[in-house]
Chains A and B, each alone.
Chain A
Amino acid sequence: MFKKFSSEEVSAQNQVKASVQRKIRQSIADEYPGLEQALEDLLPKKSPLIVAKCQNHLNLVVVNNVPLFFNIRDGPYMPTLRLLHQYPDIMKKLQVDRGAIKFVLAGANIMCPGLTSPGGALDDTVAAETPVAIMAEGKQHALAIGFTKMSAKEIRDINKGIGVDNMHYLNDGLWKMEHLD
């Protein structure tokens, strides 16, 4: 999704009003309970919260010129990888095998066999249509953020085709956009 993404795609940046800000905070806190404690550091109540609207119904939540979260249409908020690296335990994790890394880093969606093979790992509590962190065999840090197409059980049973949509991966356009101004 962010394969080609640059500041040119940002069509409007607005400082949102307090009520919207509260709503965003609330939905992030609901989505990532583990992050609640740190949320005050990330989205200080005082400092202005900016929402950057981009093409394809994409919104970026920006604080102090750093993009922290993104969402599509009214979908769930997902952290950027830089943020996820800092707080790795806020999302459920799926692990792909080593052979898949190359393709995921080129923007490919995550196929079921890469998750079910010996190098992969599945969190059985993952339901369909939830944001997940994609980890890799033998690596500590997440390499992508995905949005599941099937639940973990289905991935294991069907074991074919796209299991997780690749939303955001290392070295894509959003990754390169460390600062937005």
Chain B
Amino acid sequence: MAGKPQPVRVLYCAVCSLPAEYCEFGPDFEKCKPWLIQNAPDLYPDLVKEANAKEADKVANQLQSTGISSGGDGAASSAPKQEEVKRLPGGKIKKKERQEVTIEKMTRNKRKCITTVKGLELFGVKLSDASKKLGKKFATGASVVKGPTEKDQIDVQGDIAYDIVEFITDTWPDVPEAAIFFIEDGRKVPAA
């Protein structure tokens, strides 16, 4: 077995999965920092120093706050939670999608139509269950269809546009009536 190259073991960051030395270029360096300080202190000497300084500050702060008031801890922990922003590659920030349900009627064969419901999944509704319920309620075919731009939608046969609002708000109380919209002639019209 002479000369056989041994595999090198590379230290990978547990947070972002990159080799530890590339964390600073990773998607979220801030989150990696605590792990790095513990596991790869020699790679980022600045970080450790920074952390030590912070630690010292914290201790000092704590000493002060305990001196002033004992009930100060509660206020600190209820600090506003940072809203998680999904970052797309390239540093663009993905906008949080508006939670709303849109209902559209499409005519087919002149007197037959299909009602499509989009956006129910944003309220944590299982689409397959929802389509079954809709089909049962309106006694028609209802199916989950891969819509445009890879979003799933529910197609229900027949014109049920007006009954459906009540049905949705009754069945899923999480969905407010104000979040339901009709699409008429390409314009959004609130249902409420």
Contacts and interface: CB of A to CB of B under 8 A. Distances in A.
B19 A37 contact: no
A87 B7 contact: yes
B22 A139 contact: yes
Contacts of A175: 17
Contacts of A170: 18-19, 22
B173 interface: no
Interface residues of B, number: 18
A137 B62 CA distance: 42
Given A86-B10, A106-B89, A171-B16, A143 B4 contact: no
A7 B4 CA distance: 33
Interface residue SS majority, chain B: loop
A171 B8 contact: no
B10 A87 contact: no
A25 interface: no
Contacts of B8: 85-88
Contacts of A85: 8, 10, 19
Contacts of B89: 3, 106-107
Interface in B9-36: 9-10, 16-19, 21-22, 25-27
B16 A37 contact: no
Contact of A140 (B3, B16, B21): B21
A141 B21 contact: yes
B5 A37 contact: yes
Contacts of B19: 85, 140-141, 170
Interface in A24-67: 34-35, 37-38
B9 to A, nearest CB: 8
Given A105-B22, A170-B22, A89 B17 contact: no
B80 interface: no
A88 B10 CA distance: 10
B74 interface: no
B25 A101 contact: yes
B4 A141 contact: no
A179 interface: no
Interface of A: 3, 34-35, 37-38, 85-90, 101-102, 105-107, 139-141, 143, 170-171, 175-176
Given A38-B7, A101-B25, 5 more contacts: A38-B4, A85-B19, A139-B21, A140-B19, A141-B19
5 contacts: A38-B7, A85-B10, A101-B25, A170-B19, A171-B27
